[in-house]
Amino acid sequence: MHELALTHEIVAIACNAAQQRRVHAVTLVIGRLSCASPEAIAFCFDVVARGTLAEGARLEIHRTDGDHLMVKTLEIEETA
């Protein structure tokens, strides 16, 4: 289950970039050759995000044929 470690990394990247603002959505790109299972990451995400700025965020996963494994975009709360 390396996806748990990957999901911790994903949530950390999102929360860092959010700079204290709430994260509403996280979009990932996961290639079919990346050795990461989107289902397993989706399974881990809600639990890992709990108690962080990304709690309850919507997770979208784009699949590619390459070996991409990245956090593509974040939807975060707008600054007032």
Partner 1 sequence: MCGHCGCGETHEHADGTRHSHPHHHDHGHHHGHDHATTLVELQTRVLAKNDALAARNRAWFAGREILALNLMSSPGAGKTTLLERTIRDLRGARDIGVLEGDQATSLDGDRIRAAGAPVVQVNTGTGCHLEADMVMRGLSELRPPARSVVMIENVGNLVCPAMFDLGERAKVVILSVTEGEDKPRKYPHMFRAASLMLISKLDLLPHVEFDVARVIAAAREVNPAIAVLCLSARTGEGMDQWYDWLRREWTAAGEAAFA
* Side-chain half-sphere CA neighbours of 28 within 13 A: 27
Minimum distance, C-beta of residue 51 to partner 1, in the bound complex (Å):
19
Q: How far is Cα 46 from Cα 10, in angstroms, rounded to an integer?
A: 12
Rank residues 51 and 79 by Cβ distance to partner 1 and give the closer one.
79
What's the token pair of residue 29? 């790109």
Task: By CB under 8 A, tell whether 15 contacts partner 1.
Answer: no
**Torsions phi, psi for 50 (to 5 deg):** -55, 130
Binding site for partner 1 (CB under 8 A): 1-2, 5-6, 9-10, 13, 17, 24-25, 28-29, 31, 33, 35-36, 38-39, 42, 45, 58-66, 68-79
